[in-house]
Amino acid sequence: MVELRRGDVIRQTYTVEEHLGSGAFGDVYLVRHRYMGMQAMKVLDRADNPNDRDSGLQEAFVLSKIGHPNVVRIFEANHIHDSDESPLYVTMEFVKGADLEHLIDEHGGTYPIDQCISLMRQAAAGLAHAHGMDPVIVHRDIRPANLLIRHNQSGDELLVGDFGLAEHVNESLGFLPSAGSIPYESPEGLEGYEGPASDVFSLAICFFELVTGSFPFDLSKDVSAYNESNFQQKIAVGHKKGHRSILSLRPNTPPEFVAALRLSLAVDSTLRLSDGLMLEDVLRRCENCLASHPWPVNADAQPASDVVISMLESALRKKYVEDERLEANELFAKIENLSSNLQGRFNCFID
């Protein structure tokens, strides 16, 4: 095991500045590259198992193929010393800020809706890039701690990090062995298989928490309270019972965003938005709806009715999942006729 201290120099290139945290396979340090400035270095010093070392190299390999503004960039992978038996490190972009877990803890249920949609769209954009590669790359471990937030004057920017569990989808099966964090796992992931729609489900759980301040399913997220098989069983039961009502937790959530979250949390993956490309498009249109038709945000505003939300969810499913665009457009038009404050609102979904 390697323990780095401030001032240590690695391969005459990286100077250790501070220890940032620990994970399953090792530690993360803030280092200064002699030419390129600050970077994050993940040292896999607990990776005595060859499979763990392979996972670290897999992260480097996968990330090296993903170049997108909403994905953490990787720079190099190597051994700490010249020996191939010495610990591996991976250097990557240092994102100064927090992560979605911190935002949920500090602002869950009160974070501005427009910024919730923006951050989720950015995460979807990063996933869309990975899901659009040939062969497809699935993240497999989407959770709040892996969604990093960079604070800018123009607004918060989200980057998807830690592709350590990511892998190419088997082209014949279209799925991967399950490996993600159990509370954020998709229903099909609990059964042992994952695809791009699994990332969509996990991302929707994360943003359900940010929007409402609550975990969507009726159980604790604390894995230590259960043994693994029992916890998986409880999660599966929670999935079947369905998620909590978004509008009961945050009544002023715009209806199109509620419908998008509900569609992304469909237990049956064939009824869910199938990948990040679809989700990004839906969320971009949600942003356009909100920009052109601001939704009342005061506490006394009447929430959208269940009828409106259900019809919207059906319209989005027809448009994106079933590819029945004419039927979807007709349904959007019917929804707008239900209330004067909906008229013209869903033009952004019609094309």
Note the pLDDT of residue 342.
Answer: 92
Note the pLDDT of residue 272.
Answer: 97
Q: 136, 129 in Cβ contact below 8 A?
A: no
Indicate the length of the chain as a whole number: 351
175 pLDDT band, cuts 50/70/90, is very low
Query: Taking residues 190-197, what's their average pLDDT?
Result: 88
Note the pLDDT of residue 170.
Answer: 45
Task: Tell which CATH classification among 1.10.1060.10, 1.10.260.40, 1.10.510.10, 2.170.190.11 matches the domain 97-349.
Answer: 1.10.510.10
Residue of 114, 141, 162, 199 marked catalytic: 141
Residue 25 one-letter amino acid = F
Q: Where are the alpha helices (DSSP H) in the chain?
A: 50-64, 100-107, 113-131, 187-190, 196-212, 228-241, 246-249, 255-264, 276-292, 306-316, 325-336
Note the pLDDT of residue 179.
Answer: 46
- Rounded CA-CA distance 282/21 in Å is 35
Residue 330 one-letter amino acid = E
Note the pLDDT of residue 226.
Answer: 61
Whether pLDDT at 335 is above 50:
yes
Tell me whether residue 8 is one of the annotated catalytic residues. no
- Rounded CA-CA distance 207/294 in Å is 20
Sheet of 97-99, strands arranged across: 97-99, 147-152, 155-160
Write the pLDDT tens digit of every residue in 255-296: 999 999 999 999 999 999 999 999 999 999 999 999 999 998
Task: Tell which CATH classification among 3.30.200.20, 3.90.1150.10, 3.30.300.30, 1.20.1050.10 matches the domain 9-93.
Answer: 3.30.200.20
**Segments making up each domain of the chain, as ranges:** 9-93, 97-349
3-state secondary structure of 318: helix
